[in-house]
A and B are shown apart, each in its own frame.
Chain A
Amino acid sequence: MSFLPRDRDWHPRPYDPRYKTSTTRAPSQPPLRIGQTASELTGPIFPASDIGPLDHDLLANHGPGNPIGERIAVHGRVTDENGRAVPHTLVEIWQANAGGRYRHRNDHYLAPLDPGFGGCGRMLTDAEGRYRFLTVKPGAYPWPNGPNTWRPAHIHFSVFGEAFAQRLVTQMYFEGDPLIARCPIVSTIPDPRAIDLLIAPLDMDAATPFDHLAYRFDIVLRGRDATPFEGAP
């Protein structure tokens, strides 16, 4: 059993002059293709005891009080490329507050911190691979890449899967945001169909009336080689 090769042309280009920092941090050599060993075919397992009761609820897990902003749920399923659910895997998120400011000592944007918002969330997927966070919609913010470059509203996602080979860190965007098409980080992904996978549609069926809207973000991790038996003809 092994994992399918990663399609590196589907993922962002490591080096992209439009995203300035990548020009000094992207390796100049392509990654060396190696066979998968125990190190790649296994991975950490996180027990439920690692997760606090409010870790999935960014409306409540910082305080004091509730955060300012548009209340939303972000939910979806984690599956692999074969369509199998990825159960009980750790999903971590982080984001700016509704004004576009991160709770981080290196963020100096003039928008204020929100005392009611930390911006960190964690949960394990359920037996069917589902997850659901409650949060506020993050704000857009400017960053020093060009003279007037803005990040579209986004939530960072980290997912483990069942083995190191499936590790994925990405960002989720919001349907209808005109900044997506202008973002030099989004456009490191060459294929517009791949970008579409990062744009979460509004999901009214998952909204709670008089409480919060919802967006759906499904996540697909690397699949497994379909070869049924090792050594089969």
Chain B
Amino acid sequence: MTKETPSQTAGPFIHIGLAPEVADVDGMRTLGTRIVPTDASGERICIEGTIRDGAGELVKDAMIEFWQADATGHHAPGHWGRASADFDTGLWTLKTVKPGAGRGAPHITLYILARGINIGLHTRLYFADEDNAADPVLVQVPEPRRDTLIAQRKGTTYRFDIVLQGDGETVFFDA
């Protein structure tokens, strides 16, 4: 048995490799800027939020990857994308279709990369306007921390703020 290659932080210049258009590196196609095809069926939604560290500071150099089921609850190869925190405001935005329920409640898988994060952080986003009571993963999360995984709806936009450390710390998974 060979051991897994160990992780290292993505560092502050992750955009050069994973979102070259954000770093102003010319000559590369965009990859992951559109999470679903323009003709994907389902409810069009927007999700936005910020990432804060243990000192309450905005993490403006982070990138998030998203992996989700399509509107029927199946994981199609294309429903994957990336969003970078804005360098000035720290806000990230995802435009997608709302995933359908599979064996659990509708959710989006997130993978967070940034300077100071030595191994990527895996979490999930659930929707406040869905029935999450029986979700097999959410029920394993201690009840007082479940709210950290639930996006709140305002109109067609959901808000999902991530806290890396300390009060209100988002639940991260090892799966």
Residue in A92, A185, A189, A221 whose beta carbon sits within 8 Å of that of B17 in the complex: A92
A120-B28 in contact (CB<8A): yes
Report A157 CB to chain B, min CB distance, Å.
Answer: 9
B136 at interface, CB cutoff 8 A: yes
Q: Which of B9, B27, B68, B79 contacts A118 (CB 8 A)?
A: B27
Q: How many A-B residue pairs have CB under 8 A?
A: 258
B-facing residues in A1-37 (Cβ within 8 Å): 5-8, 10-14, 16, 19-37
Comparing A39-47, A67-75, A205-213, the segment that makes contact with chain B is A39-47
Identify which of B9, B61, B107, B111 gathers the most chain A CB atoms within 10 Å of its CB.
Answer: B9
User: Chain A, 106-123, contact with B by CB distance < 8 Å: what is the 0/1 string?
Assistant: 110000000000111110
Among B37-45, B50-58, B150-158, the one that faces the other chain is B50-58
Q: Is the interface of A mostly helix, strand, loop or mixed?
A: loop
Given the contacts A33-B174, A34-B174, A81-B2, A106 and B12 also touching, CB distance less than 8 Å: yes
Whether A25 pairs with B59 at a CB distance below 8 angstroms is yes
**How far apart are B141's CB and chain A's nearest CB, in angstroms?**
6
Q: Across the two chains, which residue of chain A brings its CB closest to B74?
A: A38
What 1/0 flags go to B105-136 for Cβ under 8 Å of A? 00101010111111111101000000000001
Provide a sorted-by-A list of 17 A–B residue pairs whose CB atoms are within 8 angstroms.
A7-B3, A19-B116, A25-B164, A31-B122, A33-B174, A33-B175, A37-B103, A45-B77, A61-B27, A106-B13, A106-B87, A119-B17, A156-B13, A158-B10, A167-B65, A185-B9, A220-B2
Chain B residues packing against A (C-beta within 8 Å): 1-18, 20, 23-29, 31, 53-55, 57, 59, 61, 65, 67-69, 75, 77-80, 87, 102-104, 107, 109, 111, 113-122, 124, 136-137, 140-141, 164-166, 169-175
Closest 8 pairs between A and B when the two form their complex, measured CB to CB: A94-B17, A21-B116, A44-B80, A25-B116, A12-B118, A31-B174, A45-B77, A171-B8
